[in-house]
Structure 1
Amino acid sequence: MAAQNMITSDRLEKIPDNISVSYLPESKSLSQRILGKGLNYYTQSYIHDIQVFEDEIVAKCWRSMRKNENPHKLHIEIGEEKLLESFCTCKAGMNGHCSHIVGLLKTLQGLKLHNFKQVPDQQSCTSMPQQWHIPRGAKIAPVPVNQVVVAKPLENRKRRPVLC
């Protein structure tokens, strides 16, 4: 990781226009779960502090579960039509095929598709439109009232549940 000796930039001209998840060496073997989580990291702006070097890209990804811990550090080296090296500090990222790396590739792909010439600055939440009115979607499926069971969890239950 010789990135510290190189001049950093936020210019995207060194990144190929057709960059995508297919640049990963074993992209066909990635599960739908990893691809979906990587897409969520891109759409929810978890990827930040993107620095572009000669042929390397260094970024950070906010943690999705342990918010008070430091973000994951991402590192990729881009060759022609494939990644030469990819690394993430998460447990699954030692081989470079984790959802954080997929999120970084999706972020770079999105920046190139929207014709950005450089990495945009991270906007604060007060600079963006308010989000509280946007529904989260259906999380709990509706059921008929006669199928509702009112009970404590199984390990704490002392009596039978209440049925309709």
Structure 2
Amino acid sequence: MSSAGDIDKEISFKVADRPVKRPRSFKDVRSLSYSNLLSHCRAANIITKGISRHALEVLLCHKLHLSTTGGNDVVFGPKLEDHCLDATETKEFERFTPTYVQSLQGWTKNISSIPEIDVGTVKKYLLASPSQDPDFTKASLKRYKLSRSYEHISAKNIHSVMYNSLTESKTFCLVKAQCNPSQSGDSARVKWLHVVLDKMTGEPYGAFCVCAVGKGQACSHVGALLFLLCEIVASGAENLPDDESVTDVLCPWSLPKGAKVHPVKAEDVIVRSTDKQGPTVDNYTSQVAPELSPDDNYQRILQLLSDVRNANSNSCMPAILT
């Protein structure tokens, strides 16, 4: 049987039915046009539907054993050093690379068979060294609902959550999801992630995210997914929530796009425009309001004061002027 590395080396890439060079670095992958990126991913048997450009770039790099961080991105093992997995279970765990997880069948919204997931166990996992996210400290996780992870949940950034019971596995089950970027409305930056759980205890063994620190298996996006699972399972739900449609989510196009106007003085503000040289506040008054004589102006002021004094004369409200 061919190894995963041998299979990857056999991938041939074509554009318009013509062979092209295999990408040799993350930079090569990022320089691909979107159509070429899709072609390369399909050639590598990577599912492209519903996956953001950034996620596809990272998944393709993992498939081709190309580093996205300058280090070794290929090795995938349990995050916890005291994971208590035997050699056979550890070898099985190492199969759960992002591209392998993505290619699996059997994903469902039904979580009737998912184990209980304890918040304390999740906190222990997120705090585990050596790849600890700086956002996760003992102090911050005591009030974890103020953490970046919980901000993702509050903003409903986590979506497309799916569960896989891995019927052929005695030890593991999987959950995958996507997470919208918190600082951008760019759909090309949506994160793809998955977590590996113990089928009996719900303990997290490892995870993956396409974000810059996803290699550490405990980024804020992974933390958000784990905390969300804790809430859903604790509620007794038997199904994961349906994905919201684009009309249910706060419109990304309503985000500020930057000012396109420049400040001007009040007297230069255009009140109404009938042509390119519309009237300003100054000439609007002189064009519309007739010039009043001093006597007429005095009489109008007297009438205004009388109207103000009598405004509440027949009301329970106090008089405006006394």
The TM tier, using the shorter chain, reads 0.5 to 0.7
Q: Distance in 1 between matches of 2:246 and 2:184?
A: 21
Return the structure number with greater helix share: 2
- 1:100 aligned to 2:221? yes
Give the match's secondary structure for 1:97.
Answer: coil
Q: Distance in 1 between matches of 2:193 and 2:123?
A: 14
Go from structure 1 to structure 2 and tell me whether the alpha carbon gap of 1:25 and 1:86 turns closer, same or farther (over 3 Å shift).
Answer: farther
- 1:72 aligned to 2:191? yes
Higher relative contact order, structure no. (Cα contacts within 8 Å, ≥ 6 residues apart): 1
* 1:1-164 pair list within 5 angstroms: 1=96, 2-3=100-101, 4-20=103-119, 22-23=121-122, 26-28=125-127, 30-31=136-137, 32=140, 35=144, 36-54=147-165, 55-68=173-186, 69-79=188-198, 80-124=201-245
1:53: Cα distance to partner?
Answer: 0.7
Q: Distance in 1 between matches of 2:164 and 2:183?
A: 30
1:72-118, Cα deviation, whole Å (9 max, x unpaired)? 11111101352122111111221111111110011111111222111
Q: Distance in 1 between matches of 2:239 and 2:222?
A: 20
Q: Distance in 1 between matches of 2:231 and 2:159?
A: 14
Runs of 5+ unmatched residues, structure 2: 1-95, 129-135, 166-172, 251-322
Q: Distance in 2 between matches of 1:124 and 1:52?
A: 20
Q: Distance in 2 between matches of 1:5 and 1:103?
A: 23
Go from structure 1 to structure 2 and tell me whether the alpha carbon gap of 1:19 and 1:76 turns closer, same or farther (over 3 Å shift).
Answer: same
1:22: Cα distance to partner?
Answer: 2.3
Q: Distance in 2 between matches of 1:67 and 1:113?
A: 31
Q: Distance in 2 between matches of 1:37 and 1:91?
A: 15
Return the structure number with greater strand share: 1
1:9: Cα distance to partner?
Answer: 0.9
Structure whose alpha-carbon radius of gyration is higher = 2
- Could you tell me the TM-score, scaled by structure 2's length? 0.36
Go from structure 1 to structure 2 and tell me whether the alpha carbon gap of 1:18 and 1:127 turns closer, same or farther (over 3 Å shift).
Answer: same
Q: What amino acid is aligned across from residue 179 of structure 2 in structure 1?
A: C
1:120: Cα distance to partner?
Answer: 1.5
- Could you tell me the TM-score, scaled by structure 1's length? 0.67
1:121-150, Cα deviation, whole Å (9 max, x unpaired)? 12347669x9xxxxxxxxxxxxxxxxxxxx
Q: Distance in 2 between matches of 1:14 and 1:107?
A: 17
Q: What amino acid is aligned across from residue 43 of structure 1 in structure 2?
A: S
Go from structure 1 to structure 2 and tell me whether the alpha carbon gap of 1:126 and 1:88 turns closer, same or farther (over 3 Å shift).
Answer: closer
Q: Distance in 2 between matches of 1:28 and 1:127?
A: 34
Aligned residues, how many?
A: 129
Go from structure 1 to structure 2 and tell me whether the alpha carbon gap of 1:26 and 1:106 turns closer, same or farther (over 3 Å shift).
Answer: closer
CA RMSD after TM alignment: 2.7
Q: What percentage of aligned pairs have identical amino acids?
A: 18
